[in-house]
Chain A
Amino acid sequence: MAQRWIWILWPGFVLAIPAVGIAFTLLDPEELHALGAPLAMSRLGAYSLGFLFFWALGAACSALTCLLQRSPFEVNRCPLPAAGRPEGCPKREELGCG
């Protein structure tokens, strides 16, 4: 599980560095407008939030990859141990599931 967190957070972090670098080289936050009003924050604040935004975007992308690359086998697996499944569950008798 810890490795899955790495797969989700780390690539986004690495990509956020050039992304924020390129974005704010081309754009000066002091000249930016959001919803018609100038940004009410320091440049440092805008860079920092920009970085966190790109990081979140990258992490979301990696999370989606993680979600989609799971095999049907992993998706179908019941999280409950066999004994803890509700009565009548067809998988209740199955051994080794969960």
Chain B
Amino acid sequence: MTDLGLEASLYEVRRKIYPRAVSGAFARWRWGLVFATQAVFYGTAWLEWNGRQAVLFDLAARKFYIFGIVLWPQDFIYLTVLLVVSALSLFLFTAIAGRLWCGYACPQTVYTEIFMWIERKIEGDRPARQKLDASAAGARKIALKAAKHGAWIALSLWTGFTFVGYFTPIHQLVHSVAALSVGPWEGFWIGFYSFATYGNAGWMREQVCKYMCPYARFQSAMFDTDTLIITYDAARGEPRGGRARGVDAKAKGLGDCVDCNICVQVCPTGIDIRQGLQYECIGCAACIDGCDQVMKKMSYAPGLIRYSTQNALANGWGARQILRRVVRPRVLVYSAILGAIVLAAVAALWLRSPIKMDVIRDRGGLAREVDDAHIENVYQLRIMNTDERAHRFTFAVEGSSHLAHVELLADTPEHFLEIGPVSARTVSVRVRAVPHDAEGSQPIEFELKTVDGEGPAVTLHEKSRFLIP
């Protein structure tokens, strides 16, 4: 082989895939999930909660609002936990039923589905699109292509706008878009996300799954012989071959596969499922819907291509035996880890104090002698009220047994402080004490208490050190 030939084989030339429209039970499921996920995505940004946007990742203010919860940068752990939970859920679903995520809920699938629907409405189904692309440029072709791309771009811009609306209050954003006064970075990100949507769902499509998606490469690690996959029943289908309707296939020595190629034509990644499980298969079940229609026309039983497991296929199991195998060590382990993390996260979020305090020792003077007996240390108390209502606080300090006459001196009268909803204040305090038979560093503890007169009082303790020169 020449090196040019090798190069060509290393870089497969992409041939454009023209998926044929398909209808059936699984296509309905996918459309149901398209509507559900997109109602959530396009809709949630507009919801109100407590007089503010219900879900807002307010980057400019460094606060994340998720309905009743307000997360500060200190709460980053919850987002990390969310990512871990998502990953583990993906592992669990994959172990049980293969690439459910890819086939029904992944944004790449969902937007490709919507974009293909637009394409089909404007350019027609597979044969019409193939004919259109093969035809010479003319007024009709240009008009159809312009209409398609116009519709795609409009939907992409709306998607990009909605995406940015989760990071910048969407009601402000809609006004600034209308007044053409969008901030430079908001504008950049609307454009970026729109371009990504348009490019991925309009042009890249199955290539994202085949060449860009890491999950497609490692999902097989979660598979075992009891995982639901989309399978072609070769024992029933082979030897494949065309036949007239009503002809006795058995007499001709043929299996049930009529070799109509519908399963290949409907495949969004352009593979032939009859060659067995391939990593390109996103588990969308379009081939099942397509094949079942043909089987019905031929008056054969459906399910020549179906969801099944390797074990079920080898042993001729039915749905009941497949279901029984769902409970197996791999699934139990994934479920146990996932359940434990979800429980811990929910409990932590539930028990989370709405008040936080950081004690920061003053960087300037470590300690100073006020008179013969007293030593003074300076601290910054940063008090954060993550609640969506104002709180009033008092604060106090306690020292170890080696410190006597510990007192707190602050500029706020009566050590009384009010902090508005979802905001923070830093107060400078001096702690004065008489050391008793000690030197070096002694533990002290600050106490912060809410005094609202309503609701249960919250008390916080925060440790620090008192330095004796």
Contacts and interface: CB of A to CB of B under 8 A. Distances in A.
Given A26-B73, A98-B4, 4 more contacts: A6-B211, A10-B212, A42-B183, A48-B189
Contacts of B168: 44
Contact of B11 (A1, A21, A44, A98): A1
A77 B3 contact: yes
A66 interface: no
A93 interface: no
Contacts of A1: 11
B158 interface: no
B427 to A, nearest CB: 19
Interface string B47-88: 000000000000110100000000001001001000000000
Tell which of A6, A43, A44 has the most Cβ of chain B within 10 Å.
A44
Contact of A3 (B73, B184, B211): B211
A24 to B, nearest CB: 8
A77 B183 CA distance: 49
Nearest to A96: B2
Contacts of B280: none
Contacts, number: 43
Interface residues of A, number: 22
Interface residues of B, number: 21
Interface of B: 2-5, 11, 59-60, 62, 73, 76, 79, 168, 183-186, 188-189, 211-212, 214
Nearest to A47: B59
Contacts of A73: 3
Given A10-B212, A25-B73, A96 B59 contact: no
A96 B4 contact: yes
List 8 A-B pairs, minimum CB-CB distance, nearest first. A96-B2, A25-B76, A44-B185, A48-B185, A25-B73, A43-B60, A10-B212, A44-B60
A95 B185 CA distance: 54
Nearest to A41: B185
Contacts of A21: 76, 79
B310 to A, nearest CB: 31
B212 A42 contact: no
A30 to B, nearest CB: 9
Contacts of B4: 96, 98
A10 B214 CA distance: 10
